[in-house]
Amino acid sequence: ETGVTQSPTHLIKTRGQQVTLRCSSQSGHNTVSWYQQALGQGPQFIFQYYREEENGRGNFPPRFSGLQFPNYSSELNVNALELDDSALYLCATQLPSGRNDNEQFFGPGTRLTVL
């Protein structure tokens, strides 16, 4: 059991709406990454947060934004939802650099459906 939790488990929205997904990391994991996994594909890196600042971003438009809080939990916000945003959204956390043995731990994901 990884200890990374995500909420909600499932979500249905309509095109144009906004959504917020949440991720709680394990104790001491100060880095969180978000990935989008479309059906039948591998996860794609959206962005990473470290010490409440964005620390790298993949090829996603600005309507994908995030936050990291002092307790290292995180949110992913998506504005102006499009049908292609339907996917499993995964967060993954890491221990501080030098202690993480280059490993990340995934949560179970949030399944977003956009109608």
Partner 1 sequence: GDSVTQMEGPVTLSEEAFLTINCTYTATGYPSLFWYVQYPGEGLQLLLKATKADDKGSNKGFEATYRKETTSFHLEKGSVQVSDSAVYFCALSENTNAGKSTFGDGTTLTVKP
97 exposed, middle or buried (CB, 10 Å; 0-12, 13-18, 19+)?
Answer: exposed
Yes or no: say if 82 and 21 are a contact pair by the CB < 8 Å rule: no
Pairing assessment for the beta strands 31-37 and 44-50 based on DSSP bridges: antiparallel
Shortest distance, CB of residue 57 to partner 1, whole angstroms? 9
Shortest distance, CB of residue 47 to partner 1, whole angstroms? 9
Asked if 92 interacts with partner 1 (CB under 8 A), we say: yes
Q: Side-chain half-sphere of 79: how many Cα atoms within 13 Å?
A: 6
CB-nearer residue toward partner 1: 8 or 16: 8
Q: Which stretch binds partner 1 (CB under 8 A): 13-21, 64-72, 75-83, 101-109?
A: 101-109
Shortest distance, CB of residue 63 to partner 1, whole angstroms? 21
Yes or no: say if 10 and 110 are a contact pair by the CB < 8 Å rule: yes
Chain residues 21-80 in contact with partner 1, contact rule CB under 8 A: 31-33, 35, 40-45, 48, 56, 58
Q: Which residues bind partner 1 (CB under 8 A)?
A: 2, 4, 31-33, 35, 40-45, 48, 56, 58, 90, 92, 94, 100, 102-109
